[in-house]
Structure formats: C-alpha cells, structure tokens
Amino acid sequence: MNSKVPFSERDRTDKPASLYAATKKAGEEIAHTYNHIHELTITGLRFFTVYGPWGRPDMAYLFFTKDILKGKSIPIFKGPNHGTVARDFTYIDDIVKGCLGSLDTAEKNTGSGGKKKGPT
C-alpha cells in the first residue's frame, strides 16, 4: 500500500488497499486491455464530490453551508498525523465542461499537462 503524501502518478498501484481502490484499478486494466487488443483510444474520468442543484441532501457541503449561514462553526477533520485534511468539491457545470473537453483529446492525463481543447 502506498501511504506517501503527496503521491505521484509514478507510484506503484498494483496492491490496492480497499475494494473501492481495487475496482478503480480493475477499470484501468480493462481499459488498457481494450486499447491493446482493439486499438481504442480510451479516456477515463474520475469525479470527486460533485455538487449542484440536484445534489444529494446528505452531502457535507450542504451541512457546512447551513452551519455557516447559522453562524455555527464547521468541523475541521484531522488526518492520521493530526494534519488538516483537504477535500475538493467540484460543481456539476465544471464536470460537464471536463467531460466535453475530454472528447477532444487523446493526450496524456490532463492533470499531468495533457492538451485539452474543450470549452473553457
């Protein structure tokens, strides 16, 4: 298991530590195999904490917003070494733009400097 923080795309990923991680790894391997056998260009997208008008009512950002509007403090979660844990929230419109942008690229991971030609 890789516990290095921050991690790198070059880190080993062949020993997932959870069922969730194993399903993500399996999906990547299936995509790689389809690419190899059928010469398909495949782009994988992973969404993390998407929010918007039709979001689930149990999402943390709703609780945080309600507490802030009431003048209450919001909880700050601590990591294993008592460090502050950061979490990203992505608005649904940004997800749509990213999906559309991914249709126009066959480059490497856009998070690693790939070229993205989609909407801005």
- pLDDT one-digit tens code per residue, 84-115: 667 788 999 999 998 998 887 655 555 544 44
Please report, for residues 15, 44, 62, 81, 98, the alpha-carbon distance to residue 53 in angstroms, rounded to integers and kept in the order given.
37, 25, 11, 35, 18
pTM of the model: 0.60
On the question of pLDDT at 12 being above 50, the answer is yes
Residues in the chain: 120
| 20 annotated active-site | yes
Q: How confident is the model at residue 118 (pLDDT cuts 50, 70, 90)?
A: very low
According to the model, what pLDDT value does residue 68 have? 92
Q: Dihedral (C-alpha) 95, 7, 40, 26: value to the nearest 10 degrees?
A: -100
According to the model, what pLDDT value does residue 109 have? 54
Give the C-alpha separation, 34 to 80, whole Å.
38
84: which 2 tokens? 């502050």
Catalytic entry in 20, 34, 51, 91:
20
Q: What is the pLDDT of residues 39-86, one digit of tens each?
A: 877 888 888 889 888 888 888 888 888 899 999 988 777 767 766 667
DSSP assigned state of 112:
G
According to the model, what pLDDT value does residue 19 have? 94
Give the C-alpha separation, 100 to 43, whole Å.
12
Give the C-alpha separation, 41 to 35, whole Å.
6
